[in-house]
A and B are shown apart, each in its own frame.
Chain A
């Protein structure tokens, strides 16, 4: 185990050593070798620089970027600052990128920053920041290469393909870096040559300063170019030809640098990297020679130089260790550490030397025995303990080494007072953590030891709990109250870790209530909350009562909110309570809890609650009463939640679902434009996230519902966005797939959408918004076409009938050529339906369905102006169903329209008195008079039966309605006939019509009530005006 850990440590150490970053080293060069170089742009020390520096110092690079986007609006931004905005933007972009935890986004942002640096350098050749910009571009690309190389080296041995990809990427970045750095070098040389000679420059201080700056940058460029090869070598195996070649090239370049800048820090760095190049290439002797030139220098109190010496000691130690010269490692490292200050010993470069020394002691101990081995182990352990104290490259390894060395206590510690118990508990806690870490690391390198390390962690965990329990018992009035609370907190955490939820919950709550001033109190409350939640869930799952746990949850959450209202723990508590309330369908409670969350933390809960109200509203059979209140409430919460999460960098799946609910809500209230905006919102819009294949928007149901909502929104906006709607249909079809009943599912979605759109067209038409209605109808037609094209659609009576009916209704809602197009489509579909039903009697669901289709075909023909065909169709149906009042009405209306449109008085007469006499001398088509008589009789009959029977009463009303309608149409037809006639015939017809209406007025003074009265009065007026 020790061996494998050593190997791993060595690998880690090597990878970290590579990561002495370009930024670090270039900063060292810039600051130390040529101190005046840092002064670039220092003349711009105005307020705006100070402002920007302040934002950066706080790490608010996002705000700095926001500021730079509108800096030209800032009255204190000087003209010179405005010229450099792009440079400052690049600096900020790169700093912001480095803050990103997401590797892909970080890489993209760094590339963008490098590109901005390059653009600036190109567009501002005379700017004092131009050369800095080139250096920065080179550094950013190099940094990306470093990321890739470091990542590749951490991959498991088997991940060859991934490693190759990373190395390829690193090489690409290094090549990218070469261009700006080469330009930087060339520009520095050119600018230096253009400067006045040194003697003349002496006279002008500014010229001298400029020369120093340029010389500094030139040295930096040369160093960074040499380092590109050194980094490139990492992407090849050190044994490979390519690897050797680039290492040779790097060594040569660094050697040149050393010669050129022999007495300067940059020269020593050249020598150091020359040594590193030899070391990596396996030429240990040459490497040691290079390193000696650095460590053999007389003591120089320069901090940067001392760091370089420390770093050099580390690699010298590595070289000696490779040659098994452990005594030399111990000698050199010990001497160096002894002559270093305490402050230096805590610095990373010194910790690396300590680690080498510890590893050397450990290796010596392996080979030794007895007291020597014991002493060396103790030395190693002491050093590892020291290293483990400081975060950095070696902390993990040092902790693992400590754990791998086993517990330092073979026997339990006998504790006599609180302090001893507390210290023993903490020691065990640390041992437990180290063992856990070691187990984690061993999973990759030494699987055999995982079990024992895990076991060790458990033993230490139990021991720690025991000590802290003792500490609690041993506490007395002299015990520090805060330390006692801390001991109890550790115990609480250990209970939680061990799954002892009851104890963790009780102890956590106790701490939160009794020791609110202790720094762990809110965390303890959170542990209590989490424990009660698990207990609550367990009880629910087991079907047991969970009211106690629910009460405790509420109490702890209350406590959190009361004591630490601004803490994340309080928010977590309230959110948990809201979730439980929603799960239990206690919406009012959830609403109440929501108001207690700080406004800035409500977004998620608002979306969840809004979503719950919305789904409850949708499930409700009707929207009346209390349920009716759900809709506006849901909308308000969803909208508020949406506004708040817009600014969040990342959203959860639950929050995005809430946003989708908001889009659905907006569609339901007719705000299609807003629904589109919501769905397309670049950061949290469900459609944007689905398109970006975001993991939070990947559930198939979510994807389908998003496409449905988007489709409806695109079809319903003014004007409709037909291309986007088409794209949504394609996406929806792809999302639903083609297995099982996918086809029917899709058709059903389209039909349901169609019904919603029809409703919208009707509303628009009723509001007199014909243009808008037509626009929606056009986009609706796309949907119809799509449905028609579906393979399963042709075989479905229901779908075909819906298509036909929808076309007919669309035509009825429009006029002129627009209408005719839809009537024709409707008629064609009905004809196809009827033909198919006649060929296959089982196709139509029932004879009545077929009859209805035929009637609607005739309606279409009538609407198309094909009166003859329409009438023939009605008559044909009447032959089998002569008493069907609906058909008689349609036939009479057809005759009336026919007569009026084509000025055929015969047809008008037939509309009034009937047509097509049969063998029994009765007309097959009754005409309006006969219809009115039949309706009157039926009305009287029903009225007689009505009494308290509401059905009969309704029936009587229906027939009465028909009676007035038929009499009105009869009078209208008579009036139309009169207008076609001349002379006496005309007078006679007019009189007949007048008499008929007079008689109606006399007999029925209200003229059929609200529905018919106005129509009658209008007709009477028209007749009165006719001479």
Chain B
């Protein structure tokens, strides 16, 4: 089923429910929903929601927000533990987020969108922990499937599809992952075209098909060109493209590209920086410069630990590099931390 083309009847019913609930909430608490997007915060009442957009109404004026622009939504009358859980998840503290979500009494939550938000955050955190080797991938996939099958009108659907692809990728089900990423590409917005191409490229890269991966990253860059929402992905696509180019032999140019990406990234963009330093380490490894590679991976270990999957990978590389460089105790330290912090990670079990 294509999540972007839901049956009209069901769509209408869901909207009706939301409108009803929203109305009741507004009249009872006089509160407002708040959509935070790239341009700021918009308050009002959410009157429509789909996997593609959210409509917020204030003073009789409807504002339609494309999903790709939305950072988060704070719902009127949401449980007090939800906001801290959301913040913890945004900062990569997934276990804290799960703990907070556990504090919420589901029986007190009537509004469908809030229930969806709680379910989504649970999915996200469970999956991210599993991806970092701190939980079961199968369990995460189960939760994601359940969410998608029962919340097809949630604005969180695209992110959840991507998450599902990522879980499948971690299970080395490359075709399965690509099938999920392809679903994203069916959305009309350039953002999702670019996202789909980028993620497809990443899966090809993981499979070792760097030629195809490079082509996919080029598509991502093309799709992102001139689109404000999609432009945010350009750095990542360029970075991943450089990794594949390096694997194809163009190490020198790739190294320069990665360095430029690091220079352009903000220091708060932990995930991208972690990815970039791991990529830089790869380039140095390919160039036979073990010492420089070690320093690159050390950046991830010391500075970007919150990017858990990248951190696990960096620890793995460090455990090997320290060994090769005759520092057995440091190699053991890296290996031990990898096993302790990411016991289920594929890096820990290599």
Contacts and interface: CB of A to CB of B under 8 A. Distances in A.
A76 B266 CA distance: 10
A283 interface: no
Interface stretch (B104-112, B306-314, B325-333): B325-333
A566 B323 CA distance: 11
Interface string B294-337: 11001101110000000000000000000111101011100000
Interface in A634-655: 644-645, 647-648
A601 interface: yes
Interface in A582-633: 598-601, 603
A47 B303 contact: yes
Nearest to B324: A600
A75 B259 contact: yes
A70 B260 CA distance: 16
Contacts of B80: none
A598 B323 CA distance: 9
B302 A50 contact: yes
A482 interface: no
Contact of B298 (A55, A73, A647): A55
A645 B325 CA distance: 9
A566 B326 contact: no
A70 B262 contact: no
A70 B295 contact: yes
Contacts of B259: 73, 75
A46 interface: yes
B291 A66 contact: yes
B267 interface: yes
A447 interface: no
Given A46-B267, A566-B332, A600 B303 contact: no
B330 to A, nearest CB: 7
A31 B7 CA distance: 70
Contact of B292 (A70, A76, A603): A70
A67 B326 contact: no
Contact of B328 (A50, A63, A601): A601
B263 A600 contact: no
A196 B10 CA distance: 75
B257 to A, nearest CB: 11
A25 to B, nearest CB: 31
A75 B298 contact: no
Contacts of B326: 600, 603, 644-645, 647-648
B69 to A, nearest CB: 29
A76 B267 contact: yes
Contacts of B294: 63
A54 interface: yes
Nearest to A50: B303
Interface string B185-196: 000000000000
Contacts of A50: 302-303
Judged by DSSP, the binding face of B is helix
Contacts of B260: 75
A73 B299 CA distance: 13
Interface string A285-302: 000000000000000000
A599 B321 CA distance: 12
Judged by DSSP, the binding face of A is helix
A647 B298 CA distance: 19
Contacts of A644: 326
A63 B295 contact: yes
A937 to B, nearest CB: 70
A60 interface: yes
Given A46-B267, A600-B326, A647-B326, A54 B302 contact: yes
A54 B303 contact: yes
Contacts of B330: 60
Contacts of A598: 323, 328
A70 B284 CA distance: 13
Given A46-B267, A47-B267, A63 B262 contact: no
Contacts of A67: 295, 298
A644 B290 CA distance: 13
B236 to A, nearest CB: 16
Contacts of A46: 267
Contacts of A1012: none
A46 B262 CA distance: 14
Contacts of A566: 332
Contact of A647 (B295, B325, B331): B325
Contacts of B331: 600
A514 B159 CA distance: 53
B323 A599 contact: yes
Interface string B272-296: 0100000000000000000110110
B295 A75 contact: no
A51 B323 contact: no
Contacts of A55: 298, 302
A63 B297 CA distance: 12
A647 B322 CA distance: 11
Contacts of B298: 51, 55, 63, 67
Interface of B: 259-260, 262-263, 267, 273, 291-292, 294-295, 298-299, 301-303, 323-326, 328, 330-332
26 contacts: A47-B267, A50-B303, A51-B298, A51-B299, A51-B302, A54-B302, A54-B303, A55-B298, A63-B295, A63-B298, A67-B298, A70-B292, A74-B295, A75-B259, A75-B260, A75-B263, A76-B267, A76-B299, A566-B332, A598-B328, A599-B324, A600-B323, A600-B326, A600-B328, A603-B326, A644-B326
Across the A-B interface, the 9 shortest Cβ-Cβ residue pairs: A54-B302, A75-B262, A647-B326, A600-B323, A75-B263, A75-B259, A47-B267, A600-B328, A51-B302
Interface of A: 46-47, 50-51, 54-55, 60, 63, 66-67, 70, 73-76, 566, 598-601, 603, 644-645, 647-648
Given A63-B298, A598-B323, 6 more contacts: A51-B298, A60-B330, A598-B328, A599-B324, A600-B324, A644-B326
